[in-house]
Structure formats: structure tokens, C-alpha cells
Structure 1
Amino acid sequence: NTLAILVWYFGKHGFSHNSSGLAGLYFNCPALGVVSDKSWKVIRHPSFYHTRGIQPNYRLAESNVGFDARQNIEGWEKKEYNDAGWLQAIEKGCPPVKPWGKLVERPVPLFKNCGLSHYVKTEKEGNRIIGYLPADIHVTPYIKLKARTGLLIDMRTDDYIMDLNTACASVRTEYITREGEQEFETFAWMNGHKVIYTVPEGVEVLDLKYRETGYNTDFTGYFLCEDTFYNTLWEKARRTVYVNMRDNFSDCPERERGQWWGDLTNEIAQIHYGFDTRALMLAEKAIRNLVDWQRSDGTMFAPVPAGNWYDELPQQIMASTGYYGCWDYFMYTGDSSLIRYIYPAIKKYIAVWKLDENNLVMHRKGEWDWADWGDNIDNKLLDNAWYTLLLKGAAGMARICGDEATASAYEQTMEKIRIAVNRHCRTGALYRSPGYKGLTDDRANAMMILSGIADSSCYESIAALLNNEMRASPYMERYVLEALCVMKKYDIAMKRMKTRYAPMVSAPFSTLWELWNYRPETNSNGTYNHGWSGGPMIILSKYIAGIAPETPGYSTYRIWPNECGMKEINCRVSTIKGDILFYMNNSESWKKEYRLSSPPGTTAILRLPGNCARYKIKVNGRTIVAFDETPVRDIEGCRIIRRDKEYFYLAIDPGYWVIEGI
């Protein structure tokens, strides 16, 4: 047998790559007698070249690919090929010596490879042929052609240049023809809704295809209701997350490909509802990356792993390491081993922050003092919310690690901040930090709710603010909508969602935008596929369908649907315990129906509205509640655990259940 390997060396840093500085290949399989040593032959492939003109922007580790078919080494991968003219490989030692460093086992699946497929359709415009893709996906374009020698073909996507700015360029491929019939597929993945081939005269195109690749997970989750607006929005949010998943999460797949943790906090919250559990492996990898790159002074930065970025965005790091970041991931997975791994780093990071003489959080600018896009941002008020949530998540982590004293100290600090913010920042039933001159910030007031700093006496005023002020970017919009749901203002949340996302839902894209005012005619005002934009997916699955873990890892979970006028909700969530399937139908005036398939090893807490029935509630055909004063009775596997003025709460064992209110 002969082993022949083509190795791609990036040779430069990027936002998701720290270059070793030297090309190399290492493997070690002594059981088969196959190791990477000096017995190997090596040559630099002469067909690949550096393109001229516009290059990928500095954030990308990848370069453009140029391939000159006239220089190709025909049959180099075949056993009979004569490699006598190649050089002997040079041994560089065994890991962890440089350039290898410490090796880490790949923690995520190999990429999904969907094979070559024909485009949805193709159109010819002058010397360009446009291949339409089924969605915004990762592709490697393919072409089969007949030509004379020396003609250059360009391959790129519609997403190649952002904001008419070549400094934001993504990747493209050039192919120089040889004589005769030939075919070529680039190794450089790119993304978009269209692949654009620029083909000169003298080339006869015989076939065009593309190969979709991506993170290896399936689209198992769903949310469906009778309003196609929300269905479309949910699906576009999932598409947006998926196009930002590969060997790391990213904020956008063309301009940066970097793990910005503000985006990632939202993305991880979405993968629990959209994909199978293989997606969790990418999230765990990202969390470990973050703490592994912690600096000696305790600060953290993102994106990592990176070779040309070192700047901390303090509020993004607090978001990622706190209650809505790492702790939220733990609630969905129950992975306490990960908590024990990351807790020392988070404890060290918390110590970087200080309170002032009024017990308010002292603002830290980091290297990039960024809270959100837009205007009227109450930065210091947000500091207090994010730090409180950081402490809340860390207190839970401390208890898992047996550090009760630190957990108690964190909770005492949270209480100090709560008292201080209400004393120094509360104006009536709204919040503004001392010295802040802008309009009252919708984002910061939403975060007062989520952090627990604001109590229920503020709900009506803050809800009114969020009903009228819409300044949060798509990144912070997730938290605004979530705050409305926490206050049980579901109708306002759904109305705001529809108002803000209407242009994105109606746009001819499969993904959601970075900003609210993307301009498709010039591909400007941000990207059209930004990872932070999918907050509605969380809201619809977690609060409207109402599915979320009550205890870590879904041992106990809630289904607390909030209908918001909807007659039907159909939802599926893949968990580490198995799939949850939930269906609600109240289209008949005289009956409400709920169907639940609950996986083994779980207890579901189903919340039913008090008006779900006029006469009785039946479970699998048996009456458990009758409104003629008949005593409540449980049945095997289903019991009423409490009842208040608004709701019934049923504890339900694994299996398939039909609950009817008639």
C-alpha cells in the first residue's frame, strides 16, 4: 500500500487560528508500522499559488486558493507514481516540542460531507454563471469544463465582500486551465446563497456542482405554530447558528470566523433547541478554549484560539462566564466535570472586578469598551447587571466544587449590588446609572429584570419602556425579549419580536442580519448571517412552547406553554436524555389538547392554565380533575403537584401522554 497526503498549511494567524510558524505533518501508528518520519518523501505542490489582487481580511487564517492545472502532478497519489525526485522529509521531534506543542485530541466530530450536488438553478449573466444554493451554507465549488490552456476562472460567493469594503473580503478561488477536458473542486470552503463563476471566452462549461460541508449535527428540533412569521423566524435563526458552526463557533462565516463570546452565548442557548446533542461537543470545546486562554492577570479575551487578537470585551466575557453562559450550558447538560474544569478560571476572573465606595461595580474598559451596537447605552448600569449574573452562575459552580464559603461570599456581594443599584440608580420604577446622560436604556433595564436587581414593583414601568423603546441591537434584543417573558409580558414580547424582525423575515435570505438595517442591494450594513441575532429561537422554544430544564441535565424539566393567542404549538427538543415532543391544540372552543412524548430518566412538569377546561381534565382518557367538586385523583405516572389561581401543575413520568381539558 501507498499513503499519499496533501497537507494545507495556512502560514498566518487569524481570529480562529494561532499559527505554529512551520508546515508539518505528524501521526503515530506504531501498531501498523506507520509513523511520520524522515522515510517520507515531500514536495510543495506546484499547482497551488498565491493569488494577486484582493486578499482575505486579516481576521481569516485562510488565504485565497489559486490552482494552475498546467502545473498539476498527475497521479501523485497513486502507488505506481515515481517520487524519486522528491525530497526527504525532515524530522522535527516528537510532541510537545515545537512546532507541534501539546497535542489535544479532536473533541468534535469530523465534518459533515454531503457529496457533490447540482445547484437549485443556474443563470448566466455575461461571462458569469450564478449557481443558486438551497440556503446560506458552507460549500466548495466544483466545475467540469473543456478549454484551451491558460484561461483563468474565478469562483466566489455573493457574500465575498461586505459593506463594499475590500478590507472585509472573504475567500475566493482561481483556476487556470490546461488543454482539454478537466474538472476541479476547490479545497477552500466559502459560504453564501449563490456561487458565482466568472468564466472567460474559450471555456465550455460541462457541469457545475457544489459540495456542502459543515459541523456534523442534524436539524432535529423544531417549533411550529399557525403563524408562519414565527415559524420562518425560528428556522432562519437555526440556519444562522448552523452557518456559524464548523470547527468552532463564529460570529459570521465570511468576514471573521471567530468565536466572539457575545455571539456565542446566544448561539449555545439556541443549539439546545435546534440540533441533536452532537452540537453540545462544539459548545464544550468553545468553553474550554475560553478558559484555557486566560491571561496571567486573570482577564480573558475573545475570540480564541487566535494569533492576532488579544483584546478583552469585559461585558461579553461576563456574559459568557456567568448565568446565561456557562451556567446555562450546565443546566441543559448536567456536565459537572466541565464546571469543575472551568471554575478556577472563572473564580480568578471574578477577582479582577471591584466595587466602588457605593457598592456599585467599577467600570472596566478592557481593551475594547463595548456593550452593544447602537446609541443610548447605559454602560455602567449594564456592568452591575452582568457582574451580578456572573456571580449568580459562579455561586452555583462553587457549590458543585465544594466551595461553599465562596458561594456565600458571591451571594452576599450580589445583595450588596442589588441594594446599591436600587439606592443610586433607580428613578421611579426605571433605572439609570449616575451621570448617564442618554435616553433611558431598554437593554439595561431589561438586564435589571434578568439579574434580579429589579423586583416586581418595576415590572409595569419596565414593560412599558420595552414596549416603546427599541434601541438594542439584535445581540441584546435576545435579553430584552427574555426579560419580557420573565415578567410574563408574553404578548409584548411577541409584538416586539414581530416589529423588529419583520424586515429579516420577509427578506430573501435564509439567515438573520447583524444589524437591523442591512442593505441587500449593496451587501452592506453588516453581515446577513450573524450568530448573535437568533434570540427569538430561544424565546419561542423556551418561553412560548415553554420547554426548559428545571434541574441540570433534564432530570426534571418544565413544559410551561404560553399560548399568546396561538391555537397550535408543535415542538421538538433533543436533550441528553432523549427527544421531547410536545403538541398543543386549542383550536376547538370546547376543548384543549396537549400531547407529550417524554424520554426515559425524566420527570416533566406540565403547566396547564386554570381555564384549560370547563368540566374536567383527562389524562390518557382518565379523569384526574373534575369541576363538580369530585376529589382530585392521580393516575399512575401522572399526578397533580400543585394548583394556584392561574395554573395546574402536573408531574409526568416518561412515556406518551394525552392531556385533555374539556
Structure 2
Amino acid sequence: MRNLIISLLLSLCASTAWGAKASWITAADDSVNRPNTWIAFQKDVVMKTKPRSLKARIACDSKYWLWVNGNLVVFEGSLKRGPAPGEGYYDEIDLSRHLQRGHNRVAVLVCYFGRSGFSHEDSGKSGLYIDSDNAELCTNASWMSRIHPAYDTATGEMPNFRLSESNISYDARHAIDGWQTADVSAKYGFTPSVEIGAWGDRPWGKMTRRPIPMFKDFGVKAARFELHEGARRDTVIAFLPGNLQVTPVIDLTATQGGDTIDIWTNHSHMAGAWNVRAQYVTRQGQQQYESLGWMNGEKIILYLPKGIKVNGVSYRQTGYDTKVVGTFHSDNNFYNRFWQKALNTLYVNMRDTYFDCPERERAQWWGDEVILTSQAFYTLSLSSIDLMRKGMLELAAWQTDEGILHAPVPGTYKSELPGQMLAAVGLYGFWNYYMNTGDSATIRKVYPAVRRYLERFPLDSTGLTAAYKATWLWGDWGDNRDIRLIFAGWHYMALDAMARMADIMGLDADAAQYRATMEQIKKGYNHCWNGYSYRHPQYMGATDDRVQALAVISGIADESKYGEIFNVLKTQEYASPYMERYVMEALFQMGQGDYAMRRLKKRIAPMVNDKDYPTLWEFWDARKRGFRGGSSNHAWSGGGLIVIAQKLMGAETIDPCWRRFKIDPQYVTFGEASLSFPTLSGTVSTAFKRDKTQLTMSVGVPAKTEALVYIPSTATDRITIDGRALRTDRIVTDAQWAKAGKTAVWLRAGNHEIRVAK
């Protein structure tokens, strides 16, 4: 009892320390809430001793940069607003190693977006909030501030309506150099800040601790550049080592001040839209400038008047703090290049959220996110898991009063794409997250929202998902979409996922209801089989390859239909790069992995072979269209990476967290290949090499896990494991694991080698 009382008192002390002396603050200026306003804050803090630990809770609308004693501590802090409508995020940072005994000067630059978009909800009010157990650091009227006079909005076209960011202009003639360490009151006219609210007050609302790492800063690096002289103005093109998220840094000399330089990337106008760019207005002499609003692209492009000398162009790459730790290699150079381009596309679409493309939208479309997160589990370090969890919680929290789940969120987009929503909450989305993480707590949080959403999908008299009314009945890009069966396939798999979620939560009645509804849909779907393919009777277009694929991967189609479905998939190619992942998987499931790989290569070769773009495109023919309406770095086009890892290399989890998993390669396309990737249980690896005399398999099994390995032979006398003949008592005989023409064995922790003589 005594320990409980002490614990409660400590908790009370902690809660009263946070927020007890801090306020939301802004500058004393009538223009502070104008879109794209930049506000500089400064405070002197005296430390009696150098602190061992000093945590600060920092929030703002919308982004901030923080210096301590002139040293940059945070480059682009804060997340775009919207863990739920009307709410925001805060960062928690330990500042102790940046502070010294005695006098310290803390400076913060805040950028207030002042407009909502497809990934940010504007509060309507600029503000900074810093809370700490050191009262001097807490934001209040003792902080000095002013609107930064050099920042403004660039002239010309604004970024398209999906983006909350503005085009930044910086006029160096109005710079306040060194303000982070200067006596700003005397030198730059800073005045005491205005206290405008307390923790939890509107319009900033409830604040949630940042659930993902701070962004990774790769440092400033020089870029090779070329000068192209023109009649009226010159162009400088600087080359980046890939399609990166960067802030451009320029070093130049101007004979006079007042000239405007336009700062673009080759993605500033891309995918049929105006995206982010910047401007810089010179002062006389040599000068350096870093434009703090990130852009992406392969090139930085400067348009500048005559008479300006560019001394150098550099860039600071920033991005989500994760690493590529998974590896893949094969003896097929085409697919090695495809894998790398898929990885490039994956990483450039990660930051505040996963997004579909990094220039036009920066938006959390869940059809894309399902594919990106599945790729991440096979390629990236485990910190990437946090970004998917954040997306799941946001999707559930933004559910409408009518029970609709819609994306992208957070932000202004309100339309529902039911196909993408069903994919998100289904086997390939939320359930895949659980199988890779074992995070039942998050499943419990999102379950009520998903249950309520699925109540919106009744069945018709045939047993199929009833015709659905939504703002956008999308289904997929491209022609010949058999919408009724597309939705029924996704609905079936969403119900399957929910039944499994209900199982782990002990909700037996829910699970039974979901499975009963699945049986009705399965029956109705199979009534649409005409002997050659699945077609809804109201559908008049060409037979849809997507629908056949969904029938296979969902389990609606039994093996007796595989031959005819395969014939359809050999002739019908309507699936976009988004849905091609599921067509590939269906082909592998039907034992046609070789054709799956040939079909993907045929369709995606223009992207993989293109030497100008290191990422994958939104549409098969996006470059032919001049990227008008389609991006060159679209998240969903890397789905083949997942299929190679799961189906060709055969690495799939059986239990949550990969405590038990299977290795069941399909030996197509590659003579040799290797794959390794991190899991929460440790690194899993698998490799094979085929020649005329034998097959060699290698399997790495983490500690405290087991691997069910399928060996492509029933001639057990030709099989050795770790140099020893296979004993018959090691062969798995349980019917649930049996596969025709294969021998299955369980392998425990360690590195194993299997040889099969031909």
C-alpha cells in the first residue's frame, strides 16, 4: 500500500510539473496567423549545473527548428497535425547534452503553414509550446519573439490544393543574421511574446506524444552542378545521387542586391500539378542560403538573372529515421534493379506519414500504404513499424459520425474509397501488421472503428456485397473494372481479417458472424463463375484480371478453377501497378510463378530500364505521358518486391512476430538468390542455388523461433541437412503442413544448409 501511495504521488508530481508554468505563445504581431508565417523565438536560460537529463515537451503549429547556444539541435521538428480531428502531436527531447552550466541561449524558428491539406489539419493559429521541469525553459511572455522579416511567400503559382506547405521566399536584404545567439531585443527588435493558451486549449487541442522517431538528418553535402547560360537568364542544374527529400543550399555572389533566384527541383512541376518550390532574393556580395522547406527530386534547378555567380550548390537530405537492413540478391540483374528501385520509391515516400508520392500529394492513401508497409517488413529496420502503427490509429480516429473510414487523413480529404479502405483493414493491411508485430494492443484500439465500418456493407439477395454508394467508386486505375466483384473480394478479406482479430480478442460471437457473412459472399461470388472466369452479371466490359486474382488470393476460388483463371491472366492485363501485386500473388498461388515473373517484367520493364528515374512510376506508361497526371515515384508500384520475398523466396510468418515461420521457395526465374530481413524475433535469412547436380538451400533461424522448411523432393534419401542424411523421424507428417511433391521439416535456431541431389 505504501508503494502504491508513493507511486501515485510521483505520478501527480510529474503531471503537475508538465504544463504547470508553460503557455502557448506567439509574437506580438497582427500578422502571426497569416499562412506561411515564420516566427523567431529566443530565451536565455541559466543552469546552476550542467543537467544530466532535461526533457522538453515541444509542440507547435506547424514545424520548428531549434538551436541551443548557436548549435542546431532539431532540424524540422513537429509532425503535421491530426492524430484525431482538432488534435496535434508534440516532441519530447532531452536537451541536457546541449546545455551548459551558466548562461544558455535557446532559439526556435517556427513555420506556420496556415492552410490544411491532404496530410495536415490547420489549427487556425500559430503557436509554440515548450514544457520542461526547468521553469526557465517553459514558454511564456519572458520569451522574446518577432515575425522573421526575411520570410515571405514566393510569387507565382502556389502548390496544389493537396499540399499544406507554401512556396518559401527569403529576402536576404531583410535577414537577421545570427539572431539565434544575438541580443535580439536591442539588435533586431524582438519583443515579449504573447501568451495565448494553455496545454490542451483549443484550437491546438489535445496533444499526443510523437509516435515516430525524429527525422534523420544526413548532413549537408556538395552536389555537382552545371551552368547553362541563356539570353535573359541562366540556369544551374545540380545533380543529386537519387530521388531524395532535400533542402537546397546555395552559395553565390551578387554584384547588387534585389535579384530573385527561383529554386526548383525537377519535381516542382510534376504529375500534372504545381508542387513545392522556393525563391531567394539576393543582397550584395557573397552569401549562403538554405531553403528550409523540403523538396524531392533527382535535380536541384536554379533560375537566376545574369550577373550572379553560383559558387556552389549543396543539399541536406532528411527523411524518416530507418535503415535498409534487409538484403536481396539474385543472378537476375533485371530483378536486382527492380528491387533497388522499389526500395528507392519506398523510402522517398516516408516522412510524417507514408504517402503515395512525395511531391504532388504527400498523402496517406491506404491502398499505397498497404503495399509500402508490406515492403518495409522485408527491407527496413524495425523503426519503420512505428509509422504504420501511427497510420492505423489515425485512420480509426478520423472515422466520421456515420461510421465511414476515409483516407487520406489527417486533413481535408473527406471522400471514401471503399476498395482501399477494405484493403487497409483486411488481411494485407491491419492483419499483416499484427502478424509481423504481435501488437494486439493496437488491434484492440482500431477494432471498434473497423467493426463499425464493416456494418456499412450489407449483402444483396445473391449473397454478394450490395452495390455500394460512395463519393468515389474507384476500384483501381485503368479500364474494365468489374466493380461489384472487386468490392466483394476486398470485403471478404476484410471480414476474414476481422474474424481473426476477434479470435485473438476472445470475441467468439463476432468471429462467428464474420465467418458466416464470408460464406454468403463466397457463395454469391462463385455464382458469378461462368465456367471460364468470374464476371458479375451486370458487368459488360472485358473480363477483369483483378477480379480473378482477388478470387484466388482470398480463397473464394478453389483449385478446380485455377486452369481457367490462369488462361484469363495470360490474356487480360488491365490491372494498374497497384493491383498487379495481387495478380502476381494469385499466379504464384496457382503454381504459375514463372509466368508471374515474366508478366511483371513485361509490364514494368520501361520503369526498371529507365536510366533517368531511380524510382517506380504511378502508371505503366507514365513517362510516355510526360508524367502529366502520373508521378515518377509512386508508392504502390513496388508490390512485386513483396511477392518475390513471400512467394518466390517463400518467407512467410506462421505465428505473430515470426516465432514460427515457413520457408517455401518457388524455384523460378533465378538460378540463385538470397534474402535476409529483420523481424522482432531476429534476422531471418534464406538462400538457394540450383545447378545440374543439386539444389542447395540455406536458412537462418533466429533464437527462440522455428522454421518450417519445404524441400522440393520426396526422395528423402537424396536430402541432407547440415551434412547429415535426413532422418525420417524429422519429416513433418501433420496433414495441415503437407504439400504435394515436397518434404517438410522443422528447423530450430541456427544457420542451416540443405542439399538435395538431383
Question: Percent identity over the alignment?
Answer: 39
TM-score computed with the length of structure 1 as normaliser: 0.95
Q: How many Å apart are 1:225 and its aligned residue? A: 0.9
Report what 2:367 is aligned to.
262
Aligned counterparts of 2:663 and 2:716: Cα–Cα separation in 1: 22
Tell me which of 189, 193, 198 is aligned to 2:303.
198
TM-fit CA distance, 1:520:
6.3
Q: Aligned with 1:184: secondary structure?
A: strand
**1:606 matches 2:709:** yes
Alpha-carbon distance between aligned partners in 1 of 2:733 and 2:244, rounded to the nearest angstrom: 47
Corresponding residue for 2:425? 321
Q: SS of the counterpart of 1:241?
A: helix
Deviations 1:524-552 (A, max 9, x none): 24101111111111111111111111111
Instruction: State which of 237, 240, 245 in structure 2 corresponds to 1:130.
Output: 237
Separation of aligned partners in 1, 2:428 and 2:122: 32
Choose which of 239, 242, 260 in structure 2 pairs with 1:152: 260
**2:13 corresponds to 1:13:** no
Whether 1:355 aligns to 2:456 is no
Q: For the structure 1 residues 274 and 532, does the alpha-carbon distance in structure 2 shift closer, same or farther, using more than 3 Å as the test? A: same
The separation in 2 between residues aligned to 1:100 and 1:267, in whole angstroms, is 31
Structure 1 CA distance for aligned equivalents of residues 224 and 589 of structure 2: 43
Q: CA–CA distance in 2 between the matches of 1:134 and 1:215? A: 18
- Structure 2 distance, partners of 1:174, 1:41, is 28
Q: Which moved more, 1:513-522 or 1:546-555?
A: 513-522
Residue in 2 that maps onto 1:303 = 408
Contact 1:56–1:169 at 8 Å: present in 2 too? yes
Deviation at 1:566, TM superposition (A): 1.8
Counterparts of 1:400-419 in structure 2, within 5 Å, are: 400-419=504-523
CA contact (8 A) 1:223 1:540 kept: no
Structure 1 residue 523, shift from structure 2 partner: 3.4
Q: Provide, for residues 312-352 of structure 1, a one-character-per-residue CA deviation record: whole Å limited to 9, x for no partner.
A: 11111111011111111111111111111111111111111
Contact conserved, 1:517 with 1:525, CA < 8 A, in 2?
no
Instruction: Give the SS at the match of 1:96.
Output: coil
Q: SS of the residue aligned with 1:27?
A: strand
Q: Which amino acid aligns with 1:321?
A: V
Residue 111 of structure 1 aligns with which residue? 215
Q: In the alignment, is the contact (CA less than 8 A) between 2:716 and 2:726 conserved in 1?
A: no
- Equivalences for residues 158-177 of structure 1 within 5 A: 158-163=266-271, 165=272, 168-177=273-282
Kindly indicate whether residue 675 of structure 2 is the aligned counterpart of residue 580 of structure 1: no
Whole-angstrom CA distance in 2 between matches of 1:339 and 1:381: 27
CA spacing shift, 1:620–1:546, aligned 2, 3 Å: same
2:750 alignment counterpart: 655
Distance 1:544 1:348, change over 3 A: same
Q: Which aligned pairs between 1:213-252 and structure 2 lie closer than 5 A?
A: 213-252=318-357
Indicate conservation of the 8 Å contact 2:266/2:300, yes or no. Answer: yes
- 1:503 partner letter: P
Residues of 2 paired with 1:551 and 1:488: CA distance? 24
Distance in 1, matches of 2:422 and 2:227, equals: 48
Give distance in 2, aligned partners of 1:139 and 1:538. 28
Structure with the larger RCO, 1 or 2 (CA within 8 Å, 6+ apart): 1
Tell me, yes or no, if structure 1 residue 399 matches structure 2 residue 503: yes
Give CA deviations for 1:205-238 in whole Å, capped at 9, x if unaligned.
1111111111111011122111111111111111
Q: Which residue of 1 aligns with 2:486?
A: 382
Unaligned runs of at least 5 residues, structure 2? 1-103
Distance 2:550 2:143 in 1: 59
Aligned-residue offset at 1:99: 2.4
Which of the numbers 151, 174, 182 marks the counterpart of 1:48? 151
Question: How far has the Cα of 1:614 moved from its partner?
Answer: 8.7
Pick from 364, 369, 380 the counterpart of residue 473 of structure 2: 369
SS at structure 2 position matched to 1:2: strand
State how far apart, in whole Å, the 2-side matches of 1:35 and 1:381 are: 57
Q: State the shift of 1:162 in Å.
A: 2.4
Q: 1:563 aligns with which of 654, 659, 667?
A: 667
- Alignment of 1:212 with 2:320, yes or no, is no
CA shift in 2, pair 1:184/1:522, >3 Å: same
Q: 1:101 deviation in Å?
A: 0.4
Describe the superposition over 1:226-272 as per-residue Cα deviations: whole angstroms up to 9, x where unpaired: 11111111111111111110010111110001001111111111111
Distance in 2 separating the partners of 1:420 and 1:620: 50
Q: Distance in 1 between matches of 2:346 and 2:229?
A: 32
SS in 2 for 1:4: strand
Please report how far the alpha carbon of residue 410 of structure 1 lies from its aligned counterpart in structure 2 after TM superposition. Answer: 0.5
| Aligned partner of residue 164 in structure 2, secondary structure | coil
Per the alignment, residue 629 of structure 1 pairs with none
1:591 to 694, 702, 718: 694
The letter for the 1-side match of 2:246 is V
Matched, 1:340 2:481: no
Give me the whole-angstrom Cα distance separating, in 1, the residues matched to 2:378 and 2:261: 42
Deviation string for 1:407-436 (max 9, x for gaps)? 00110110011112222x111141111211
Q: How do 1:439-458 and structure 2 match up within 5 A?
A: 439-458=542-561
CA shift at 1:594, angstroms? 1.6
Correspondence for 1:616: 718
The amino acid across from 1:162 in the alignment is M
SS of 2:496's partner is helix
RMSD over equivalenced CA pairs, Å: 1.7
The yes-or-no answer on 1:89 pairing with 2:197 is: no
Tell me how far apart the structure 1 counterparts of residues 298 and 138 of structure 2 sit (CA, whole Å).
42
The 5 A counterparts of 1:460-475 are 460-475=563-578
**Is the Cα contact below 8 Å between 1:610 and 1:645 reproduced in 2?**
no
Q: Distance in 2 between matches of 1:534 and 1:500?
A: 13
Question: Is the strand fraction higher in 1 or 2?
Answer: 2
Q: Which residue of 1 aligns with 2:14?
A: none
Residue in 1 aligned with 2:174? 71
Q: Secondary structure, in 3 states, of the residue corresponding to 1:427?
A: coil
User: Structure 1's 313 and 660: CA in aligned 2 closer, same or farther, altered over 3 A?
Assistant: same
2: CA distance between counterparts of 1:26 and 1:565? 57
Correspondence for 2:598: 495
615-624 vs 320-329, which moves further: 615-624
CA distance in 1, matches of 2:605, 2:258: 49
Report the Cα offset of residue 394 of structure 1: 0.4
Residues 112-132 of structure 1: per-residue CA shift (max 9 Å, x gap): 111111225545454111111
Please tell me whether the aligned partners of residues 2 and 79 of structure 1 are also in contact (alpha carbons under 8 angstroms). Answer: no
Match for 1:506 among 593, 609, 613? 609
Q: Which amino acid aligns with 1:206?
A: N
Contact 2:427–2:494 under 8 Å retained in 1: yes
1:616 shift after superposition = 2.7
Change (3 A) 1:81 1:646: same
Amino acid at match of 1:91: E
The aligned amino acid for 1:604 is: A
Deviation at 1:79, TM superposition (A): 4.7
Give unpaired runs (5+ residues) of structure 1: 626-631
Any idea what the Cα deviations from partners look like across 1:79-106, whole Å, max 9, x if unmatched?
5443573232121222211122000000
Contact in 2 for aligned 1:313/1:365 (Cα 8 Å) = no
Q: Is this contact kept in 1: 2:120–2:164, CA < 8 A?
A: yes
Q: Distance between the aligned counterparts of 2:513 and 2:738, measured in 1? A: 36
Q: Distance in 1 between matches of 2:677 and 2:733?
A: 24
- In the TM superposition, residue 366 of structure 1 has moved relative to its aligned partner by 1.3
1:516 is matched with which residue?
Answer: 620
Give the Cα–Cα distance (whole angstroms) in 2 for the partners of residues 647 and 120 of structure 1: 55
- SS of the residue aligned with 1:475? helix
Letter in 1 for 2:413: W
The separation in 1 between residues aligned to 2:743 and 2:417, in whole angstroms, is 44
TM-score of the superposed pair, with normalisation by structure 2: 0.83
Aligned equivalent of 2:161: 58
Work out whether residues 639 and 652 of structure 1, in 8 Å CA contact, stay in contact via their aligned partners in 2: no
Count of aligned positions: 646
Q: Is the 8 A contact 2:144 2:185 kept in 1?
A: no
Q: What amino acid does structure 2 have at the position aligned with 1:86?
A: F
> Which residue identity lines up with residue 14 of structure 1 in the other structure?
G
The amino acid of 1:204's aligned partner reads: K
Instruction: Provide closer, same or farther for how the CA distance between residues 281 and 122 of structure 1 changes in structure 2, counting only shifts above 3 A.
Output: farther
- Distance across 2 between alignment mates of 1:485 and 1:92: 60
644-653 or 169-178: bigger deviation = 644-653
